Amino acid sequence: MESPRPHEPAGSGQRQRSPWFAAFITAVLTVAAAVVALVVVIANVSGGSGGGSVPPLGASGTTAATAQTTAPGATAPPTTPTAAPSTAPDPGAGGDSSAVVTCGDLLAPVDKNHRLGQDCVPSNLVTLPAAISVDGTQQLTGDTASAIEEMFAAAKTAGFVLYVNSGYRSYSVQVATYNYWVQTDGQAYADRTSAKPGHSEHQMGTAADIGTEGHVLEAFIGTPAATWVTENSWKYGFIVSYPEGKEAITGYAAEPWHVRWLGKDVAQRVHASGLTLHEFLLK
């Protein structure tokens, strides 16, 4: 049956639209809905969670999209990209021929040439108090958590309120995180500032990205708090894994916000040696 002409309103007593016309209208509406959804997705990705650009990722694989302005204990967006499980190839498996270190070994080198297995998960993770961690969901091993609370208390006495922006991250989270930053900033940049899956110290549960309110990741560089961490973290068992001026040795750009717990005795020895943690663990 022929569909109504434009000047013929449909209604009781009028000629009815044919089935193909109804199908055509349905298709048009479906396409329109898809376009609207695509626009929303593009807006969310390009704007991040705070309306600005997504900050560069640390060698740990962390992003702090809005943590720079969110006080500890308050509800904030996740500190890692929130995407569906990645279907991209796993850079840490298959073709990765780097040496696999023992899961749970406190002094295992975890770098570009040594990695943790996909199934390596710390057995004694605890959730940090909301007052010292973004979202109140960050986790570290029990000993690391106790040590970081001690260090933060000392920092507070010195006038610096520190908190953990990112603690333990699983292998699968690092897969999604690394792939996200490769797609966003390119392979070369991602490899200087992000660890491939299995190669992140965060998977050990003994590493943390720390900062102060309004100053995390790159914004933490050059601050008095960053100087305090560099000069004093070893006293509490922590070492800054990626110090300034050592990229040729560590393989990563400077990250004064990334600390790894080794215990006070070992940290003191690393500090006294003048070596980077990378060099110390491989000597």
What pTM did the predictor assign?
0.72
Gap between the Cα atoms of 157 and 205, Å rounded? 26
Cα–Cα separations (whole angstroms), residue 186 to 46, 180, 182, 183, 190: 16, 10, 5, 6, 6
Higher pLDDT: 58 or 88? It is 58
Which pair of tokens denotes residue 250? 């560590």
Q: How far apart are the first and last CA of the chain?
A: 85
DSSP 27-92: HHHHHHHHHHHHHHHHHHHHHTTTSSPPPPPPTB----TTGGG--TTS----SS---SPP-S--TT
Q: Does the CA dihedral 88-210-168-278 come out positive or negative?
A: positive
The pLDDT value given to residue 234: 98
- pLDDT at 276 > cutoff 80: yes
Average pLDDT over residues 148-154: 98
Q: For the chain, what is the mean pLDDT?
A: 77
Which pair of tokens denotes residue 275? 């070596």
Give the model confidence (pLDDT) of 217-252 as tens digits: 999 999 999 999 999 999 999 999 999 999 999 999
Rounded to a whole number of angstroms, the CA Rg of the chain reads: 25
DSSP 243-280: -TT-HHHHSS--EEEEEEE--HHHHHHHHHHT--HHHH
Cα–Cα separations (whole angstroms), residue 97 to 101, 113, 198, 226: 12, 9, 12, 35
- Contact between 61 and 202 (Cβ < 8 Å): yes
Give the model confidence (pLDDT) of 161-218 as tens digits: 999 999 999 999 999 989 999 999 999 999 999 999 999 999 999 999 999 999 999 9
Task: State the residue for tokens 């702090």.
Answer: 64
Judged by DSSP in three states, 115 sits in strand
The pLDDT value given to residue 229: 98
